[in-house]
Structure 1
Amino acid sequence: MEKQAGSTASRDKNRVEKSQLEFFKLFLTEVRMQLPDEPLSAKDMSQQMMTMEQTNQTMQTNHNLEKLIELQSSSYLNNALSLIGKEVEIDGNGRFALEKQTGSFSYIIDDNKKFEEITITITDQANKVIQTIKGDAKAGQHNFTWDGKDSKDVAYPDGIYKVLVEATEKIEGAKKEMKKSPLPTRIFDVVVGVNRDPDISLQLSHNNHVPLKNITKIK
C-alpha cells in the first residue's frame, strides 16, 4: 500500500511539472502576441502569476507527501525486521500450535468482570473434542499450556488445534440465569521472516502471516 501511494505521488508530480511547462509556454505566447494598444492588464497578469504559484505549491506538496510515505514505509519495515527471532504474542483467533507435546495460549478477564467459571475446550481441525478443562476465573491474563493429551492420557500429534474459552456468568433478575460467552485468546509464536507483498506482515514459525499491528506483546 505504501508503494502504491508513493507511485501515485510520483505520477501526480510528473503531471504537475508537465502542466507547469505548458502554462509557461502559453503565458509567454500570450505576452508576445498581445496588441500594443491592448496590453495584458496588471490584474490578468497577477491572476496568471497566482495560478503559477498554486501550481508550484501543489507540486511541492506532492513531493513532500512522497518523501513522508517513503520514510514511514522504511520505519515500518525496520520495526518488522527487528522482531525476527523474537517470540511475540498475537491474537490467536481460536487456534494454537502444538509442538513437541506443548501448546500454549492465553485469555484475559477484565477487572470489571466476575465469572462463575471458565471452561476451556480443545478440539482438532474436524471439531472433535479432545479435552475439556476448567480455567482460572479471576481477573487478569491467564497463560495455559496443554500437554497434547486427552482425558484418557492419549497423546496427539503436533499441529494446529482449536480452542474455545467460555466464561459463565450469573445474570441477576427475576430468574437467575447463567450465561456463557466466548473470550478472545492469544498465542505465542516466533517471528521467522517478513513478508512485503502487498503489505508488510510477519511470518511466524508455524507458517502464519499476521500484520505488524496485531502484535500485542514482545517477550
Structure 2
Amino acid sequence: MPPWLHLMAESLPSLLWAGLVFTIPLTLLSFTFGLALGLVTALVRLFGPLPLALLARFFVWVFRGTPLLVQLFVIFYGLPSLGIYLDAFPAALIGFTLNVGAYGSETIRAVISAVPKGQWEAAYSIGMSWRQCLIRTILPQATKIAVPPLSNSFISLVKDTSLAAAITVPELFQAAQRIVATTYEPLILYIEAALIYLALSSVLSHLQQRLEQRFGRYGGSLEANP
C-alpha cells in the first residue's frame, strides 16, 4: 500500500468520528433552530408591527451583510470582553443559527409572498382566522416552493461548519488540521477531508432531488383547499 493511501486509511476513522460527533450535530441543530428563527423573523417582517418589523430587518441586514467567520469570532472571542464566556460548540451553534435564521428568513418571506393573495381571500371567505389561514393554507403551499432553496442552504451549511475549526470546535476539518500537525502531510489530509465533504454533499443532493420529486408528485396534497 502506498504511504499516502496508508495515511488516509489511518486518519479516516478520526475524521469520520469528528464528523459524526460534531459536524453533523452542529449542522442539524443550527439548521433546525435557524429555520425556526427564520420563520419567526419572516412572519414579523410580513405581518408584525412596524417597530418589530424594523428590528427584524436590522437583524437580517447585519447577519447577511457580515462574514460568517467574523460573526463566529465576535461571539467566541469578542463576547468574553463583556464578561460573556461560551464554550466553542455553543458559540458555533449560536453563530450558525443566527446566520441561517437571517438567510432563511428571506427565503421564507419570499415563498410566503409568492402564494397568491386569492388563497388568503378564499380562506377568509369560509370563516378561517388569520392563524388558521396561515397554518392550513399558506404555509403548506409555501413549503413546497421553499424546498429547493432551503435544501441548498442546508447543503451549504454542512460545508460552512468547517469554519467552526477557527474557534476550536473539533469538527471534521479541525480533526484534519490536528493530524496534519503531527504528520506534516497537509495535501493528503485536506484532500481526504474535502472528499468526505464531497461525499456528504453528494448524498444530500441526491436526497434533495428525491424530496423535490416527492413534493412535485404529491404537491397537491400539501395545498389546503378552503
The answer to whether the superposition gives a TM-score over 0.5 is no
User: Shorter-chain TM-score category?
Assistant: under 0.3
Q: TM-score, normalised by structure 1?
A: 0.25
Q: Which has the higher strand share?
A: 1
Q: Which has the higher helix share?
A: 2
In terms of Rg, which structure is larger? 1
